[in-house]
Structure 1
Amino acid sequence: TGKPKGVVTTHANIAAQVTSLVTAWEWRADDWILLVLPLHHVHGIINVLTCALWAGARCEMLPKFDAERVWARIADGDLTLFMAVPTIYGKLITAWEAAALERRRAWSAGCAPPGMRLMVSGSAALPVQRLERWREITGHVLLERYGMTEIGMALANPLHGERRPGFVGTPLPGVEVRLVDEAGRPVPAGTPGEIEVRGETVFLEYWRRPDATGAAFRDGWFRTGDVAVSEHGAYRMLGRSSVDIIKTGGYKVSALEVEEVLRTHPAIAECAVVGVDDPEWGERICAAVERRGEAELTLAELQAWAKERLAPYKIPRALRSVPALPRNALGKVTKPEVAKLFTG
């Protein structure tokens, strides 16, 4: 979410990205997918539209997202695939919970396999609570994956097999992934490291930015700037090194891990955790929250609650309640804007 850079992607890159997903997710000519994502983003234009075209499948486009209209199309029972971002799944859950019992049953029935064979979430971390609620409503465990504009998709949970909440799976076909320390040395399983990616899916260069291109590669590997850990053969995201890894009091804290815990508080509907410069701690952990209903929440109350669930150094030291967290066009929280709530 920093200043945009032009990503030069070749036809060969796109072909590699698409064939990797068509293979991994077993796209077929008789698949039918509803596009609810913007086409200026790789999630919509590559993962949905171009994969559908490559497979000879049907891609149906809505002029804009409307939760009830999307549910109505799902209820028709002819869709086989659905891909969205966590924010959209959240809006669909809210609409389902507000609907009458008969509509709920019809909407849920439209998700039933084998008709609807796969539902995917990506472009931002999927809260575990949202994954569990979606499973309760539809019977589907959302397939989480990890990627970015520069590389297409790199990691994904399996089409067949166990999908673990909070994990983004293993490398997709044709993609090499490794985790490295700050010196570029591979780290062992269980140790956090930066994700580096290599393969035909990786972009050519940043448009007219040779300096940025040079800094983005190390020995042929693309440096994503994202941090993960490999546990029991699968990758778990810890966040973006620039905004989600908070260095406080000599510790490195994953903002995503703190957010997962805070979302279980009964007064918190949604939250974002950031690190803000602090002369004593290096960075102090700050939490911006959307409150649930009319619930009240003070910093002291949150800290007392968090002491039972988080290590002392992971507990937020500042709290702001906001009507809505700042988000980009895909619904992803813009952390630099959140940080301004604590520095302005």
Structure 2
Amino acid sequence: MLKIFETAENLPDKIAIVDKDKSYSYQTLLTKSKAVASFLLDGETDLNQNRVAFMVSPGFDYITVQWGIWLAGGIAAPLCITYPFPSLKYVIEDTGATIIIASPEYEEILSPYFSTSGIRFIKIGNFPEYGSFELPKVSKDRGAMILYTSGTTSLPKGVLTTHANIEAQVSTLVEAWQWSQQDYTLSILPLHHVHGIINVNSCALWSGATVEFLPQFDATGVFEIFKKGNVNVFMAVPTVYFKLIAYFETLSLIEQKEITQILEKFRLMVSGSAALPVSVMEKWHQISGHYLLERYGMTEIGMAISNPYEGERRAGHIGQPLPGVDIRICNESDEVIPFDQAGEIQVKGSNVFKEYWGKQEATQKAFTKDGWFKTGDIAVMENGYFKILGRDSVDIIKSGGYKISALEIEEILRTHPSVKDCGVIGIPNEEWGEIVAAAVIPYEHLDLEKLNHWMRERLPAYKTPRKYLSVHDLPRNAMGKVTKNELKKLF
């Protein structure tokens, strides 16, 4: 049995999940997950790594579905609950999902799959409370999960991780950040993303801690939960800390003092998924008494580098390699260079994903000949701490903790009948890290507000450009390729 389920068996009466003011024990969580697994098997002995796509709101139901898929021997493919239909369709069809599971609120958007041949559609309410079928023995080398990342190509790539990969990613963080069953964390991050799934939920449940869910981020709601005094571990992206600071500054001095006294009692606060502005780190320290622990990771590797749990947390730096993770810095020829020289971070370890789903060529390109994963991030070590300098591709935009492919957005923009050509970039923004900006060459006059509405129907909100510019031409090099750094200057 996988380690996360062993914890649940060993702590039957401990509270695992708090969801909408209702508490669920580890025993309840495991019993319901087994019932989900039995229902998914439907008389079969093993799902045999069949892909199960699920669109379920964060909370108790989400975890029981994820665990149920794993217990039945399937590969979990979580769908983003804010995606428009074309993005959902891409993930469902790219994974080749044979089962789709949906919460009631997402049944309508997924309704085209109600009667699709070869796909079994399950509504959350159909799951029984208890199951009676024998569950398969799932080996750790089998596929566990497919999460999607934009990468440097126009279409998102499915990152396949095995149970062994997930156990390595989780156990490393549990050790490094000293998780225990006394911990209580708040889960607010999207659950189609490694940060929320691995760093928050899986680490907590692996350790026997308690996870409280706040399905939709709301600064008032976060502080109300903090005021109850249970939460002692909190993880978020820089954008969330930016919004919490902005809300805190609207409060009276008495309310601010009360919140500061509560935050000072926390054990750990972490920031990741995007670079943490030094100004945000300093302001949060003034409010909470904590220097946020900044770390570095990717969908493909989980977490690889972290500031120390005990010791100096250096602003603007990501820290040192985590236990069991090998890091090297290489030049453009994949030759190893000293840490104090700028180069690409390359990673090796049992935390590294298995493959890009159905994309053999992309998988091969992602690794060096001697088996190191090429992150594409450029870093240098300064006085024992790694610092990220940037990305080797200007076509990746980091916004609000997401990595967004500019090429994917450009492809969709070009399908608009009034857009002749376009260039998409990220421009620096204190709250979001970067925001998506698009320069478009129109065939005739183009209403940019209408264009934005049109884009929102085709892309998730976080991928939709925040700024538009109508231009006669785009800056290009001698080969005709758009020079993105020159394009940024237009904004």
TM-score (norm 1): 0.72
Show the 5 A alignment for 1:301-316. Answer: none
Structure 1 residue ranges, 4+ long, deviating more than 2 angstroms after superposition? 286-292, 328-344
Would you say 1:20 and 2:196 are equivalent positions? no
**Distance in 2 between residues matched to 1:5 and 1:331, nearest whole Å:** 18
The match for 2:157 is 5
Q: Does 1:216 align with 2:394?
A: no
Q: Counterparts of 1:1-344 in structure 2 under 5 Å?
A: 1-2=150-151, 3-113=155-265, 116-218=266-368, 219-243=370-394, 288=427
CA contact (8 A) 2:277 2:430 kept: no
The code of the aligned residue for 1:139 comes to G
Following the alignment from structure 1 to structure 2, what is the Cα–Cα distance between the partners of residues 228 and 336? 29
Aligned residue for 1:6, secondary structure, equals strand
Segments of structure 2 that go 5 or more residues without pairing to the other structure are 1-149, 399-405, 407-424, 432-454, 470-483
Rounded Cα–Cα distance in structure 2 between residues aligned with 1:12 and 1:336: 42
Residue 80 (structure 1) shift:
1.1
8 A Cα contact 2:328 2:339, kept in partner: no
The structure with the larger Rg is 2
**How far apart in 1 are the matches of 2:464 and 2:276?**
12
Pairwise CA distance, 1:336: 11
SS in 2 for 1:69: helix
- Superposition CA RMSD, Å: 3.2
- Secondary structure of the residue aligned to 2:319 is strand
AA partner of residue 235 (structure 2): M
Q: Does the Cα contact within 8 Å between 1:216 and 1:223 map onto a contact in 2?
A: yes
Q: CA shift at 1:182, angstroms?
A: 0.4
Within 2, Cα distance between the matches of 1:137 and 1:98? Answer: 13
> Within 2, Cα distance between the matches of 1:335 and 1:177?
36
Percentage identity across aligned positions? 51
Deviation readout 1:161-189 (Å, 9 max, x if unpaired): 00110000001111001110001111123
Aligned to 1:7, the other structure's residue is in SS state: strand
Aligned length: 272
> How far did 1:337 drift?
8.5
Superposition deviation, residue 330 in structure 1 = 10
Amino acid at match of 2:249: E
Q: Does the aligned pair in 2 maintain the 1:85–1:331 contact within 8 Å?
A: no
Q: Is the 8 A contact 2:164 2:350 kept in 1?
A: yes
Structure 2 contact 296–305 (Cα < 8 Å) conserved: yes
Residues 72 and 62 (structure 1 numbering): CA distance in 2 closer, same or farther, change over 3 Å? same
- Structure 1 unaligned residues grouped into runs of 5+: 246-254, 257-273, 275-285, 293-325
Kept after mapping to 1: 8 A contact 2:317/2:388: yes
TM-score, length of structure 2 as denominator length: 0.51
Question: Helix, strand or coil for the counterpart of 2:249?
Answer: helix
Q: Distance in 2 between matches of 1:4 and 1:77?
A: 40
Counterpart-to-counterpart distance in 1, 2:286 and 2:338: 36
